[in-house]
Each structure stands twice: as C-alpha cells, then as structure tokens.
Amino acid sequence: MKNFRDIEQLSAYLDVQLSPSDSARLESRISADPELASVLSDLRAARSILRKLPARKAPRNFTLTRKMVGLKPPLPRTFSFFRLSTAFATFLLMLTFAANSVIPRIGFGAAAPMAAQEAYGIGGGGSGGGCEEPCIQSLAVPTEAPVATEAPAAAELAPLPTEGLPSASEDTARVGETAIVETPMAKELENASVPQDPPTVKNEAIIPIAWQVGLLVIGLISAGIAFAINQNAKRKWG
C-alpha cells in the first residue's frame, strides 16, 4: 500500500489538478511502479462508477410560494396612514379615560372642604358647628313625621329673639300641623340647600364624552379601512 501522499497525488492527477511538472513526475513513477498504477486504476474505477450513477430528477418542483418565504404583500401608503391614525386615536382615547379618572381625584381631593362649604353656603366656624348634612336634610324635608323631634334643632339654629313667634313648647304642640320652623335663618338654610348634590357637579368629566366617542369612531373607521386595504393587497398578491 502506497503512502497517503501518493494516493492524494494520484487522485488529483485523475482530476487534472496537478501542475504539468508534477503530472510528468507522477507519470514516470506510475510507469515504473505497478503498485502505483494499480492504485490509480482503483481510484479511476471508483470515480468512474460514481460518474455512471444515474442522475435522479427531482420528484416534484421545489419552487417557492410567497407564503413559504414569509413575504408580505406591498401595501399602499394609505395603509400606513390609516394604521397610524388608528394607533393615534386609540392612544388619545386611552389618554382621555386616564385623564377623566385620575385628574378629578387629584384636584377634588385637595379642594373638597372648600367646595363643600361653597356648595352649602355656610361660613367657617360660627354656624353651630355640628349641623352638617343630616341637619340640612332634615330642614329640607319638612313634612316627614320624624322632623318633629328635629324641630328643636332648627330652633336651636335660630335662637334669636323672635317676637310674635310661639315658644318652643308651643312649637312642639304644633308639630303635627307643620314641621317647619319658619325662621329667617331656617329659610336661609333651606334656600342654601336647594342646589342639591354639590359633589356631583365637581365630579364632572374633564374630557367630554363626545370627544371620547369621536375618538372611538375615528379609531374604528381607520382600523376598518386599514384592514380592508390589507385584505385587498393580499388578495391581489395571491
């Protein structure tokens, strides 16, 4: 058996990959060495049999489809515009929801006592202190029977000398007829309590709902158009 260097040279010689000088040198060695000639013959036979191998044709076509290679259809510029407007409208819509839910809490939390005072129309400390919402409600709902027990409270609120007015005992005696003690102060309080539910006024949305609906409509329309453009492009793309 020849060394591998010789075999490599013989293989390259078969493929005409040796320089002319190397080829000539090898040819002279081959003619002088039968073993070298035998190896060359073996290599040639192996190469020959491989070359005789019938070429197999592809059993099917391997052509690619756009889907196979993940190609997307070319979309018109309008698609980008509508996609952007959808995204923008959605973003603004979210922003309006955020604004409406967060800002009133921050703003109303700090200004709440003041707002309540303004709404009730009663000043700082000197108005009897303890008379808060229940007290006002009792004055505002005069015909209810339980008011009879609250009448003294109203009277306490108006302890000013009232000539011609019946005494407290007489008041209680007339409770059945009317629960309202018509003192000027009570009237004032009653008038003050007319604009009911003041906190709801302050909780009004910062961004009007009409704007939100508008943004929603814009977003939906833009999304619909973008979807239609995309589908149309895909259909044309095949």
Partner 1 sequence: MDETALIHSAQNGDLDSFNTLILHYQDSVFHTALRILGDEDLAQDAAQEAFISAFRSISTFRGGSFKAWLMRTVTNACYDELRRQKRRPTTPLEPETSDGEEMDSPKWLADPNMTPAERSEADELEHAVQHCLDALPVEFRTVVVMADIQGMDYSEVATASKVPLGTIKSRLARARLRLRECLRGFEELLPSSYRLQEEGNR
Which residues in this chain contact partner 1 in the complex, by CB under 8 A?
Answer: 4, 7-8, 10-12, 15, 17, 38-39, 41-64, 66, 68-69, 71
Task: Tell the smallest beta-carbon distance from residue 232 to partner 1 (Å).
Answer: 20
Nearest to 201 by CA among 76, 90, 134, 111: 111
CA distance 138 to 116: 18
The minimum distance between CB 33 and partner 1, in angstroms, equals 15
The smaller minimum CB distance to partner 1, of residues 23 and 90, is found at 23
Q: What does the block give as tokens for 175?
A: 């409770």
Closer residue to partner 1 in complex, CB, 22/156: 22
Query: Of 37 and 165, which has the nearer Cβ to partner 1?
Result: 37
Structure tokens at 191: 């008038």
Identify which of residues 18 and 181 has a Cβ nearer to partner 1 in the complex.
18
Minimum distance from CB of 89 to partner 1 (Å)? 33
DSSP state string for 55-116: PPPPSS--PPPTTTTT------HHHHHHHHHHHHHHHHHHHHHHHHHHHHHHHHHHHHHHHH
Identify the CA nearest to 104 among candidates 115, 119, 90: 115
Between 62 and 123, CB nearer to partner 1? 62
Q: How far is the CB of 1 from partner 1 (least distance, A)?
A: 10
Calculate Rg over the CA atoms of the chain: 51
Q: Residue 64 in contact with residue 175, Cβ under 8 Å? A: no
Residue 51: CB minimum distance to partner 1, A: 6
What does DSSP assign to residue 129? S
